[in-house]
């Protein structure tokens, strides 16, 4: 993933996002994930197949210029695209949890996700955030 972007500086590509393949989650979690991704894609038009994957590479300056909130990783593709940067999706292998248990149920995850989605929807339409200046050739301005 790091080969696709220079994490030390902001260029044309603003984010490389992992997309889990061969998911190891149970069937109900997979169904909930598909529904959530469909709703998010329709609302934000971010065209990212799987934003819940935590594997993402983004230049530090760009990340720090974005608004921060819990569960932000699900909305990074929409936020990065909003400011004119490209998002590259890379398939990654999903790995089963080694230890511990998820702190979320599908219902709790949906409740948190709806609030966050409404907030991001508002952010994308009502605010602008300063982003490090770059030209579209990927060179810093």
Q: What is the pLDDT along the chain (141 residues), one digit of tens a residue?
A: 777 787 767 778 889 998 888 777 778 888 888 888 888 888 888 888 888 788 899 998 888 888 888 888 888 999 988 888 899 999 888 777 778 777 677 777 778 888 889 888 988 888 665 555 554 455 544
The structural domains of the chain, with segments of one domain joined by +, span 2-95+104-125
The pLDDT value recorded for residue 141 is 44
* Rg, C-alpha atoms of the chain: 16
Single pTM value for the model: 0.77
CB 59 within 8 A of CB 7: yes
CB 48 within 8 A of CB 80: no
The pLDDT value recorded for residue 88 is 92
In what helix (H) or strand (E) does residue 124 lie, and over which residues does it extend? helix 106-126
* Sign of the alpha-carbon dihedral angle for 111, 41, 51, 84: negative
What is the C-alpha separation between 76 and 68, in angstroms, rounded?
A: 10
What is the C-alpha separation between 103 and 129, in angstroms, rounded?
A: 32
The pLDDT value recorded for residue 130 is 56
- 14 CB burial (10 A radius; 0-12, 13-18, 19+): buried
């Amino acid at each position: 993933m790091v080969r696709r972007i220079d994490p030390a500086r902001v260029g044309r590509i603003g984010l490389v996002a992992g997309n889990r393949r061969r998911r190891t989650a149970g069937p109900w979690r997979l169904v909930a994930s598909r529904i959530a991704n469909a709703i998010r894609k329709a609302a934000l038009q971010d065209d990212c197949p799987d934003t819940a994957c935590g594997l993402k590479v983004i230049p530090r300056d760009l990340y720090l210029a974005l608004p921060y909130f819990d569960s932000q990783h699900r909305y990074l593709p929409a936020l990065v695209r909003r400011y004119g940067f490209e998002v590259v999706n890379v398939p990654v292998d999903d790995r089963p949890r080694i230890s511990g248990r998820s702190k979320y149920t599908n219902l709790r995850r949906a409740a948190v996700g709806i609030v966050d989605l409404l907030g991001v929807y508002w952010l994308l339409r009502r605010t602008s955030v300063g982003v490090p200046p770059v030209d579209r050739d990927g060179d810093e301005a």
